[in-house]
Homo-oligomer: A and B are copies of this chain.
Amino acid sequence: MKSNEKNGDAGWVHTVSMNPPSLRDNTADADRLKRALQRRLNTEEPIEIGLGLLRRLPSILRESGYRVRCVLFRHRHRWSLVDAQAASDPRPFLGLAVDLGTSRVVLRLLDLSSGDIRAETAFDNPQSAVGPDILARIHAADAPEGLRSLRQRIVDGLNHAVGRLCRDCRTQTDSVVLTVLSGNTAMGHLFLGLPPRWIIREPYIPVVNAPDAFSAAELGLDLNPGACVMVFPNVGSYFGGDLIAGILFAGLDQKEETSLLVDVGTNAEVVIGNRNWLIACAGAAGPALEGGVTRMGMMAGPGAIDRVELDSAAGDIATRTIGGGKPKGICGSGLIDLAAQLFLSGRIDIRGKFVAERCGRRLQTTDGGLGFELVSSAESADGAALIIDQAELDSLIRSKAAMYTILETLTTTVGVDLHEIDTFYVAGTFGSFIDPRSAIAIGMIPDLPLERFHSLGNSSLEGATLALKDPSVQERIEAVRDRITYLELNVNQDFMNRFSAARFLPHTETDRFPSVVERLHR
């Protein structure tokens, strides 16, 4: 972001001076300002001014002595003048970045002039009360009242959170003039009130891939009424705006080297490419990777086991709990750790089956068959033992096999060896917590040197932040959308053969995982 220190101009903020009108130059206020801005932006593209700002413009110009600081926004060759105030006015122009997560919504408020983060907050997606997963919500949205209510829940949640953020920063919600939201395709639809029905029905068609920018007022957001609201475009029903945000944040579209970005979740979304080409695909990995199929599974948060390690002294398995208290359950990263440690310690075999003699007394008979007791009832937070049974373990292995098969199929299709990948980006909050060593140990991801793995954190939020700070991101978004090829994963014989091979730990072809072989023999 280039910054003009003197004016506090940067990104979307521009300060312009005009000659005051005279009998010789009686151009109208709005046209005068547009002319000055077009000169400043070095563009002939038209600039639009909303009705609300237009009505205030004569006072703003005259009281400022024709020197104003403006927020502009450009969306697909269309410039909007979002707000303007006297250059001497100390009030900040704020931008709001939103990660519109299915389960959790994260907000970040930033100063558009400096790019500084002013505050952050998050809240559980209130749509979860209607449906815990996105599929249930899409079905609920089939009724018009259902869609309205789902939309209202997220809008209310956002308004509540923004109000709190602004109070904490001692600023008015009116100062928020730009908002960029990033989420999966269905969440984007529910936020805009678009019927998501056809997203989940063959041939899987969103209402819109590249939504136009809307005003805060028409979306019911309590910000500056003229605030521009941009929702990140998607590539398809199963490749959402959050992934585009991730590509931008990782800079996948700008690198010479070929990188891979994967968002691990119920759906595994993968994109591979570089500055010249981008190929994406998505496939169902099942909820197991997020801890969703185990009875003890839970979201990452206080009380969740997020790390499982082998206590080499005791030869036993040790857990770490978020917050440090007694464990209530296990989250996705803990589950992947657990499977890795069970395998590395010989407690499960290459088929993922319990090896009784290695499990000892932790192996119990449950109503789901054999089960491994990770935490005893005495050590758990609510007095119930935390157990993973064979069926749950099988489900986890199917998920990791799906993940690996998707990666293998994509790279094979584009003719890139998995080992040629320069950087392996893991997107999404959940992905950030996965220990790559564990994911490699079970053969979920390829056995690359650890330094090639790069966790992006909340890349959806970071991508939205980039779009608020850097106007050139708009062109990158368009370029990514134009360039990206979506590969439909055909579940054909090749795919099934790869999947079958990937259902072993780490894989039937163990020479693909030399580091795991080495750890097994240590």
Contact = CB atoms under 8 A, between A and B. Distances in A.
A269 to B, nearest CB: 15
B21 A76 contact: no
Contacts of A27: 205, 209
A279 B55 CA distance: 30
Interface stretch (A8-16, A86-94, A193-201, A288-296): A193-201
Given A21-B203, A26-B204, A26-B205, A31 B195 contact: no
A211 B28 CA distance: 10
A418 B219 CA distance: 57
A194 B23 contact: no
Contact of A205 (B29, B212, B234): B29
A71 to B, nearest CB: 17
A45 B198 CA distance: 28
Contacts of A54: 192, 194, 207-208, 211
Per DSSP, chain A at the interface is: loop
B76 A46 contact: yes
B51 A207 contact: no
Copies in the assembly, this chain: 2
A51 B208 contact: no
Contacts of A49: 208, 212
Interface string A188-227: 0000111101100011111111111010001100000000
A212 B81 CA distance: 12
A33 to B, nearest CB: 10
A134 interface: no
A36 to B, nearest CB: 14
A58 interface: yes
B212 A48 contact: yes
Nearest to A57: B207
A161 interface: no
Interface in A39-81: 45-46, 48-49, 51, 54-55, 57-59, 76-78
A23 B207 contact: no
Nearest to A238: B26
A455 interface: no
A237 interface: yes
B195 A55 contact: yes
A381 interface: no
Contacts of A58: 194-195, 197-198, 205, 207
A181 to B, nearest CB: 14
Contacts of A486: 26
Nearest to A234: B28
Given A23-B203, A51-B214, 7 more contacts: A22-B203, A23-B488, A27-B205, A29-B206, A54-B194, A54-B207, A58-B207
